[in-house]
Structure 1
Amino acid sequence: MADFTFLRPLWLLALPLLAVLWWLLRRRTMARQIGFPQIAPHLLAALTIGSRQTQRSYAALLVLGAAGLMVVGVAGPAFRPAPSPFLQETAPLVIALDVSAGMENPDIAPSRLERGKQKIRDLIDLRAGGRIGLIAYSGSAHLVMPPTEDPTVLLPFLEALEPGIMPRAGQRPSEAMKLAETLIADEENPGSVLFITDGIDPDDIDRFPTGGAARVALIVAPDGGGSEVNRWASAADIRTVDTTVDSGDLRAVNHAISSSLARAAGLSGKMQDDGWILAIPATLLILLWFRRGTTLYWMLLLGVMAIPPRADAGPLADLFWTPDQQGSRAYAERDFGQAATLFADPQWQAVAMMRDGQYMEAAALLEPVQTRDAQFNRGVALIRGRDYQGAVNAFSAALTLDPLDAEAQENLDLARRIIAYLTDARQGDKEQIDNADNAPDDTVEDQAGNQGQTTQITEETGLSEDAAAQWMEQVQTKPADFLKSRFLVENAANSEGVE
């Protein structure tokens, strides 16, 4: 409460006016009650004409009290920072999928593991562009894909995950947590970790690291994982969610992740408007006015006010909701196109546009906003819109505003690598077209350097997003075989390190 403030303090000037009205009303009421002390109160009440005036005075006091609460609410009381609109767009989520033998249990159709994979695919669609990475673990943990802005690239590898490719048996999420923390340690925005599992080895509960990134666990087991999961959740401060046949579990997971991110960091510098809370006591006061003798006119008026207008209700919604509030309601209903037209805040409007696939429009909206966050996120929108040179310019602008921004520098380097890769690819296509006119007896060397030759997988070999895309295009083998080989090498290297 040390940061308590009012976002629109000028509205508080209406409070003295309400106080004057209350004083005049009270003075008028007291004047009626004084004047006949010699008459017994019960006789005075029987002889007095117009006693309903007192009831009307009480009704007016209720209205004044509700009006006072509404004035304070409109003034915008705020005591907590508002989350940045781009926080969830840029903050990484690392999914740690349990690939132990027990996950093949078919008690949750088609199996616990397949249900977990289904939930991952649904979560990718639900987050609509949020950065997602994937870790597979059993007795050991292995990186499948680092956090990427195009999570669909990990789907072929997700389908290949099965207990047979894991080099070590067990169920040790502590290993996955350690690996996940190395992935998000250098991120500017706080990250979160989602475990999809049916349980935990009891001995691993004490090994699990405490503190650090926010963590949530989706339990794909009919009994909620049993007492071991409860102990794990309590000891490691993990929010657990039981799987459901619908998307209710994913909405709970996404809400828990968003709440953790809002608490952790990534704040926009603005304060959260919590004035809506005062609408509850104000409504309760007005409800006391519903008694015998209230005119139909006032009942109809209050009834219209009680109907919550839809986000697209037009002039009626404008009477009760600010444009940003209307946009927030449409955004919560996942009507991103409508939200983009309702938001007045350019950053929130750009978020809605990006969720709606309007990447270039979002970039154009952010271009005149000369702040580091706006230019950085303009670069993100341009990359998603495949305008890589524009993204280079945007990230360069962000670095000009904040030369120490490591994340902007990393994304600038990535955009330049993409441009270089596309340039080389186009040049290669041109050379193939030029060589197409060679005579049938000509010999053409189609390998330069060590391209096309056998590549050995070592413990230093990582699977970046670019490497994954190139591998999927060039390597004629199953993803499961590739992952199994790499996991074996990594496990052997880690075992040697321990010894």
Structure 2
Amino acid sequence: MNWGIFLEAFHLLRPWVLVALLPVAWIWWQHRRKDTRAKPDVALIAPHLMEALTVKGDEDRRFRPIDLICLVLCLLVLGASGPTWNRIPEPFAAQTAPLVVVMQITPSMTETDIAPSRLERAKHKVTDLLQLRAGARTSLVAYAGTAHVVVPMTEDPGVMQPYLEGLLPEVMPRDGRDISAAFDLAQSMLEREDIPGGVLFLLDDLPAADKATLESVENIAAMAFLFLRPDTQSLPEVPTSATAFSVTPDNRDITQIEAALASAYARAQLADGTQPWQDRGAIFVWPAVFLLLFWFRRGFAVRWTAIVAFAMLSTPNSASAEGWIDWFLTPDQQGWRAFEAKEYARAADLFEDPYLRGVALYRSGQYEPAAEAMSRLDTAEAAFIEGMAHIKSQSYRDGVRGFERALDIDPDHAGAQQNLPVSRRIVEYVESTREQSDTGEEAGIGADDVVFDNEAARGADTEIAATSEDAPELLSTEQWMNTVDTRTGDFLRQRFLFETAGGSE
């Protein structure tokens, strides 16, 4: 936990509940005052009779049942006051901040003073970072004399790996170190994200002139520099808003960078006034339950308080989930714990909230049930997820309808605005392909495999049943890549030259 962010964000959702501490304090003081009253004058009783008539042991006990009662009541009052220090994250959004990885691809990065080389070590670090940020949005930018977007924002680390391996100095069109152009590309990509993100530079040096060009930071929550150089003691100066890291043989550097990005995401969440605060009052339940166990100890029985406390803690929920845990967590709370553990199918079974259940179904790959669940909700976000679920299940026309419904509810919904024209082009492409050829052979696709929507009845619905002898064998991603004659590096070189010459992607 970042204690700086915790202290900055900590507050009570219902501070007025703390007024209940006053009667608790009054009750405790009244009982304690009775215990400390002056004893009656027993001078007329003989000492040996006084010894026999006195009940021993109770006067030496400092901790009394009233102390336990009031402590439990104080914990319950604190829990009811709603302590919080973070907002509820949007479940459909990534759980960490978006990141643009900017790599220097120059001849100096091929030096072998860091085994196997500076560039290869940088690639290894990016791979480790992608594994650590599984599910988070990450993009890759390469720069030398020019800067280029290698991979746009993606949540799939497997997409980036082949392009990462193809990055070599010879694929870059011009020599040099135009880090400002790379920074501009990173900023432009982060401006299109819903939340502020970060930029990670992997390089071997940062001249003072380049440092000055990076001082103006906009829409960036964090900036970090990982220097690939053998001298880890004297690192170049970085912009005041950035943090410098030296490469390490293990993953300490990557872990520190990810922690900095997580803190940046937490700060961005705190600034998002549209998300509600997460009530953390349940953390006071566990110590209260533990203290209640002392009522089984001899001399500590205060029956009416124990009965009331246990009645409050063990009220059964309307829906059972996992037995005894129902005493302490609602089904939605249990579902959220499973969701955070990325057990999305289990979370979908636990959630009672229809929106959260739909999101969990979507994340678990159950797209058709997710679309059905979201279709019953009248919110723009639910309609957007419905559209995405239809697209994932290749029901493109239904996806278009979902995005249109989201824009009808909220015309400014960014996700629906971006995806609606894309999904319409997909539908147009599918139907035009069917119109051009009954089998789709001219477009390089088979009618059996690709054409899922044809409500406009464009073309014929011809199906070709391939025999087992003619059916092509499905290839894995690795096998497919091995059959491609052009290396990734050759593809990147041609693409970068085209972009440098003034073309567009």
Q: TM-score, normalised by structure 2?
A: 0.68
Does 234-243 or 385-394 show the bigger shift?
234-243
Question: Following TM superposition, by how much is the alpha carbon of 1:393 offset from its aligned partner in structure 2, in angstroms?
Answer: 1.6
1:24-423 equivalences in 2 (<5 Å): 25-31=31-37, 33-36=38-41, 48-52=54-58, 55=61, 57-58=63-64, 60-78=66-84, 80-88=86-94, 92-106=98-112, 110-121=116-127, 123-124=129-130, 127-148=133-154, 152-171=158-177, 173-187=179-193, 189-203=194-208, 204-212=210-218, 213-217=220-224, 219=226, 221=228, 226-228=233-235, 231-232=237-238, 235-238=240-243, 240=245, 245=250, 253-264=257-268, 268-275=274-281, 278=284, 314-423=322-431
Does 237-246 or 177-186 show the bigger shift?
237-246
Amino acid at match of 1:336: Y
CA distance in 1, matches of 2:274, 2:245: 29
Question: Following TM superposition, by how much is the alpha carbon of 1:208 offset from its aligned partner in structure 2, in angstroms?
Answer: 1.0
CA distance in 2, matches of 1:249, 1:323: 39
Question: Following TM superposition, by how much is the alpha carbon of 1:335 offset from its aligned partner in structure 2, in angstroms?
Answer: 3.1
Query: 1:324 touches 1:344 (CA, 8 Å); kept in 2?
Result: yes
Q: Using a 3 Å threshold, how does the CA distance of structure 1 residues 369 and 95 change in structure 2: closer, same or farther?
A: farther
**1:430 is paired with a residue of what secondary structure?**
coil
Structure with the largest fraction of helix? 1
**1:193 is paired with a residue of what secondary structure?**
strand
CA distance in 2, matches of 1:361, 1:12: 44
Q: Using a 3 Å threshold, how does the CA distance of structure 1 residues 156 and 434 change in structure 2: closer, same or farther?
A: closer
Amino acid at match of 1:236: S
Question: Following TM superposition, by how much is the alpha carbon of 1:324 offset from its aligned partner in structure 2, in angstroms?
Answer: 4.1
CA distance in 2, matches of 1:344, 1:108: 53
Amino acid at match of 2:343: D
Alignment of 1:430 with 2:430, yes or no, is no
Query: 1:350 touches 1:365 (CA, 8 Å); kept in 2?
Result: yes
CA distance in 1, matches of 2:232, 2:346: 41
Question: Following TM superposition, by how much is the alpha carbon of 1:84 offset from its aligned partner in structure 2, in angstroms?
Answer: 1.9
Question: Following TM superposition, by how much is the alpha carbon of 1:197 offset from its aligned partner in structure 2, in angstroms?
Answer: 1.2
RMSD of aligned alpha carbons:
4.7
Amino acid at match of 2:79: G
Question: Following TM superposition, by how much is the alpha carbon of 1:371 offset from its aligned partner in structure 2, in angstroms?
Answer: 1.8
Q: How many residues align?
A: 430
Q: Using a 3 Å threshold, how does the CA distance of structure 1 residues 156 and 403 change in structure 2: closer, same or farther?
A: same
Higher RCO, Cα 8 Å, sep 6+: 1
Q: Identity percentage over the alignment?
A: 35
Question: Following TM superposition, by how much is the alpha carbon of 1:243 offset from its aligned partner in structure 2, in angstroms?
Answer: 5.7
Structure 2: where are the runs of 5+ without partners? 1-7, 301-319, 444-480
Question: Following TM superposition, by how much is the alpha carbon of 1:412 offset from its aligned partner in structure 2, in angstroms?
Answer: 0.6
Question: Following TM superposition, by how much is the alpha carbon of 1:348 offset from its aligned partner in structure 2, in angstroms?
Answer: 4.2
Deviations 1:344-386 (A, max 9, x none): 4444444444443333333333332322222223333333333
Query: 1:85 touches 1:347 (CA, 8 Å); kept in 2?
Result: no
Deviations 1:469-498 (A, max 9, x none): xxx9xx97443233223434544669xxxx
Aligned to 1:480: 489
Question: Following TM superposition, by how much is the alpha carbon of 1:260 offset from its aligned partner in structure 2, in angstroms?
Answer: 2.2
Question: Following TM superposition, by how much is the alpha carbon of 1:399 offset from its aligned partner in structure 2, in angstroms?
Answer: 0.6
Q: Using a 3 Å threshold, how does the CA distance of structure 1 residues 74 and 132 change in structure 2: closer, same or farther?
A: same
Question: Following TM superposition, by how much is the alpha carbon of 1:61 offset from its aligned partner in structure 2, in angstroms?
Answer: 0.9
Deviations 1:101-157 (A, max 9, x none): 343345665444334434545555555554433211234321123324666444443
CA distance in 2, matches of 1:251, 1:361: 37
CA distance in 1, matches of 2:502, 2:188: 17
Deviations 1:24-50 (A, max 9, x none): 53354245x4534989xxx9x988524
Q: Using a 3 Å threshold, how does the CA distance of structure 1 residues 186 and 115 change in structure 2: closer, same or farther?
A: same
CA distance in 2, matches of 1:8, 1:316: 31
Amino acid at match of 2:389: A
CA distance in 2, matches of 1:36, 1:273: 55
Query: 2:105 touches 2:172 (CA, 8 Å); kept in 1?
Result: yes
**1:235 is paired with a residue of what secondary structure?**
coil
CA distance in 2, matches of 1:429, 1:360: 29
Q: Using a 3 Å threshold, how does the CA distance of structure 1 residues 371 and 243 change in structure 2: closer, same or farther?
A: farther
Amino acid at match of 2:268: A
CA distance in 1, matches of 2:263, 2:396: 32
Query: 2:203 touches 2:227 (CA, 8 Å); kept in 1?
Result: yes
Query: 1:15 touches 1:68 (CA, 8 Å); kept in 2?
Result: yes
Query: 1:177 touches 1:209 (CA, 8 Å); kept in 2?
Result: no
Question: Following TM superposition, by how much is the alpha carbon of 1:294 offset from its aligned partner in structure 2, in angstroms?
Answer: 9.4
Amino acid at match of 2:380: R
CA distance in 1, matches of 2:227, 2:355: 37
CA distance in 2, matches of 1:415, 1:157: 26
Question: Following TM superposition, by how much is the alpha carbon of 1:293 offset from its aligned partner in structure 2, in angstroms?
Answer: 9.1
Structure 1: where are the runs of 5+ without partners? 296-311, 436-471, 495-499
**1:484 is paired with a residue of what secondary structure?**
helix
Does 111-120 or 61-70 show the bigger shift?
111-120
CA distance in 2, matches of 1:352, 1:224: 47
CA distance in 1, matches of 2:147, 2:356: 37
